[in-house]
Chain A
Amino acid sequence: MTQPWIEGRFEENVITTTVEQAINWARQSSIWPMTFGLACCAIEMMAAGASRFDMDRFGAGAFRASPRQADLMIVAGTVTYKMGSRLRRLYNQMPNPKFVIAMGACTVGGGPYFKYGYHVVKGVDLVVPVDVYVPGCPPRPEALLEGLMRIQDKIKGHKIARLAGANVGIKVDDELPVPHHSGYVEAPEEVSVYDHQKITG
């Protein structure tokens, strides 16, 4: 992602930005998840929300009790067929833009119930579209926070602009985050204070 040319060109207390960036910034820093724990993974999600891991640092600590106020559905736990239709309905009730994190082995692909669980959906992506998969049984709260940051990356690449010219009114495609092997979307810049500290070769 490149910086727009005007950003940071003026003195302090003058902020210039684009509407797109401002909206994306606002969205990514107030992702409200839905209170939606289904099994053991929910305990870890609660831990991520509590003070030790403090999801609120990312603006995602306001767990909403209603799907109509939520942006993010953290599917934390085993989804059964019986729950599948309810899950789908809750997803449909959420306002756009909405995101889904599949948390834990169960929601990623059936987990421990893959073979003999007659009642377990083999991956929640068979029921709702999933944005980020967080594997683990259960994943540690750090892993969930990482998943949350990947959702933020996704929001950052969201385009509101529409095409000019012949294709007027057609939305510009979203930029999908390019994963980097470090786990970050962009490789952190190498900062060297002095020339001789540069890693060469």
Chain B
Amino acid sequence: MMSGQAFLDRIKNEFGDKITGANLAAIDPWVEVAPEGLVEVCKYLRDQPDLRFNMLNCISGVDYFEPDPKKAAKLDWQPHLEVVYHLSSLPTKISLVLKVILPRWKGDRPGDLPEVPSVSGVWSTADWHEREVFDLVGVRFSGHPDLRRILCPEDWVGYPLRKDYEMPLEYHGIRGR
């Protein structure tokens, strides 16, 4: 198997500036991909005969945000969202983590969801995973065949796993607190 650096060089060669960063020292080494190049990169990773990442383990949405301004001042990152893709290859028994880094709101207009292209055309597992990330973290997956809420009721307001989410005071006549 090739080393992490060799792999990184190879996909950097292939995709150029679509690969925007990497951290090979982490416990789960990850590669950062620009949203525009995501589908392309994923297709490549799935179809290369020596990689064959034929399984998408999960998609996670992470909200980097600290509601407390005192604590926020001490942090070494700016508020942002991350969508994390864990990939595995059953034939070659290797795994890989892809990250897409997004603003919390598209163009910093609150209420405008950030967009990532959907990979449900590459791995069909992604369909429900993307719906879940959309439902709870609020990321719009463009090109998704059926982007509806999957866990919360369809008329739910807001994205509950965002750090600045306000709990509902009332839902259909049921008091919230």
Contact of B177 among A82, A119, A122, A127 (CB under 8 A): A122
Residue contact B174 to A126, C-beta cutoff 8 Å: yes
B146-177 vs A, Cβ < 8 Å mask (1 yes, 0 no): 00000011000000100001011001101111
Given known contacts A81-B153, A82-B152, A118 and B174 CB-to-CB distance under 8 angstroms: no
Q: Does A84 contact B (CB under 8 A)?
A: yes
Chain A residues whose C-beta falls within 8 Å of the C-beta of B167 in the assembled complex: 118
A75-105 vs B, Cβ < 8 Å mask (1 yes, 0 no): 0000001101100000000000000000000
Residue contact A122 to B160, C-beta cutoff 8 Å: no
A47-90 vs B, Cβ < 8 Å mask (1 yes, 0 no): 00000000000000000000000000000000001101100000
Chain B, Cβ-Cβ closest to A117:
B167
Residue contact A118 to B160, C-beta cutoff 8 Å: yes
Residue contact B172 to A84, C-beta cutoff 8 Å: yes
Near B by CB (< 8 A), chain A positions 113-164 give 118-119, 121-122, 126-127
Residue contact A81 to B165, C-beta cutoff 8 Å: no
Contact of A82 among B153, B160, B175 (CB under 8 A): B153
The CA-CA distance from A82 to B171 in the complex, in Å, is: 9
Chain B residues whose C-beta falls within 8 Å of the C-beta of A122 in the assembled complex: 175-177
Given known contacts A81-B153, A82-B152, A82-B153, A119 and B160 CB-to-CB distance under 8 angstroms: yes
Residue contact B152 to A127, C-beta cutoff 8 Å: no
Near A by CB (< 8 A), chain B positions 3-38 give none
Query: How many whole Å from B20's CB to the nearest CB in chain A?
Result: 33
Query: How many whole Å from B112's CB to the nearest CB in chain A?
Result: 22
Chain B residues whose C-beta falls within 8 Å of the C-beta of A81 in the assembled complex: 153, 168, 171-172, 174
Residue contact B174 to A84, C-beta cutoff 8 Å: yes
Chain A residues whose C-beta falls within 8 Å of the C-beta of B176 in the assembled complex: 122
Interface residues of B (CB under 8 A from A): 152-153, 160, 165, 167-168, 171-172, 174-177
Q: Which 6 A-B pairs have the closest CB atoms?
A: A81-B171, A118-B160, A82-B153, A118-B167, A84-B174, A126-B175
| A and B contact pairs by CB, cutoff 8 A, 17 listed | A81-B153, A81-B168, A81-B171, A81-B172, A81-B174, A82-B153, A84-B172, A84-B174, A85-B172, A118-B160, A118-B165, A118-B167, A118-B168, A119-B160, A122-B175, A122-B176, A126-B174
